Amino acid sequence: MTDESSFDTVCLVGIGHICASLAVALRRNGLARRLVALEIDPEARRVALEMGLVDEATDDPARAVPGAGLVVVGVPVGAMEQVGAVIGPHLTAGTIVTDTGSVKQAVVRDLGPHIPDGVHFIPGHPIAGTEHSGPSSAVDGLFVGRWQILTPVPGTDEAALERLSEMWRRIGSDVEIMDPQHHDKVLAITSHLPHLIAYTIVGTASDLEGHLQHEVIKFSASGFRDFTRIAASDPVMWRDVFLSNREAVLEVIQRFTEDLTALQRAIRWGEGETLQQKFTETRAIRRAIIDARQA
């Protein structure tokens, strides 16, 4: 293929929700002539082939990786080192290697050392997705209008970075270049803390007495339903996210705890003005998200 944002062969390592949706996007936009999945789960391989997401699905890195112009690693962050050791020896000079992990410093630390000289390592994080998992959860248009954050390491080839950026733009994403450490701090607030809160709230409900738990489920309001949707996300992925980004997450939890304590105090002492002021400020954040077309 002659288009600089296109690739002759793309290898998707782990054909879960994100990589399956990416396969759909690459096909729809004519950005890959051939798609190969490197996947250890035979059922996932079967589904990916049956759905036509990829042209080949295998658990053999020696078949999937060599010759791929782009390799996208879509596995939980905790598995990055193991995957790097498996694919590293088969990578071809000039290949671009990126990922979809929600934490970037850990990916640089664990996957980076396995990328040989001559291969372009450009970590990435698509800010998109649902609570569903597996290739059958592929969503057409998942990345349209969403941010794709790329966190290139020092010495990254500018032409390779632009090629990968343009591919994501052709899919419909807005591309942002960011330092890995800064990414992890930002996502600790916008993604990791909300998931932790959701897991906690839904966990509290699951610990209630039987009759009360039944009524909580029966009369769930939209807020609680939203929390259950978030809390239904892949537990392995989120376990790895919290452990891999622990410093930033713990810092944000401390700030959240302080703010929660302040609200608790205002409720206890009947400080209506304090509560109203805080709720007014948070409404402004929601309006800003809507204005940014991220709602």
| 267-292 pLDDT per residue, tens | 999 999 999 999 998 888 888 888 87
Cα-Cα-Cα-Cα dihedral sign, residues 171, 172, 177, 180: negative
Where are the domains positioned within the chain?
Answer: 7-178, 182-291
Beta strand pairing status for 96-99 and 32-38? unpaired
pLDDT at residue number 61: 98
User: Per CATH, which fold does 7-178 belong to?
Assistant: Rossmann fold (3.40.50)
Q: Decide: 10 and 26 in contact? Cβ < 8 Å.
A: yes
- DSSP H helical segments within the chain, as ranges? 17-28, 42-50, 61-64, 80-87, 105-110, 158-171, 180-187, 193-206, 210-218, 222-231, 235-244, 246-268, 272-291
Place of tokens 């978030």: 230
Strand partners, 96: 70, 120
Cα-Cα-Cα-Cα dihedral sign, residues 92, 98, 104, 110: negative
Interhelix angle for 222-231 vs 193-206, to 10°?
110
CA distance 9 to 35: 6
pLDDT at residue number 295: 67
Interhelix angle for 235-244 vs 246-268, to 10°?
100
The pTM for the full model equals 0.89
Q: Decide: 129 and 18 in contact? Cβ < 8 Å.
A: yes
Task: Mean pLDDT check: name the lowest of 1-15, 166-180, 181-195.
Answer: 1-15
Tokens of 214: 């039944």
Radius of gyration of the CA atoms of the chain, in A = 21
Q: How far is CA 237 from CA 13, 96, 127, 192, 206, in A?
A: 15, 24, 15, 11, 21
**Element spanning 156, H or E:** none
Q: Who's near 2: CB < 8 A, 6+ residues apart?
A: none
CA distance 186 to 75: 21
pLDDT at residue number 1: 44
User: Per CATH, which fold does 182-291 belong to?
Assistant: 6-phosphogluconate dehydrogenase C-terminal fold (1.10.3660)
pLDDT per residue as tens digits for the range 56-89: 999 999 999 999 999 999 999 999 999 999 999 9
pLDDT per residue as tens digits for the range 90-138: 999 999 999 999 999 999 999 999 999 999 999 999 999 988 999 999 9
Phi-psi domain of 210 (left: phi exceeds 0; alpha: psi -120 through 50; beta: other): alpha
Q: Look at residues 237, 230, 112, 100 and name the one whose alpha carbon lies nearest to residue 171.
A: 100
Tokens of 275: 């509560």
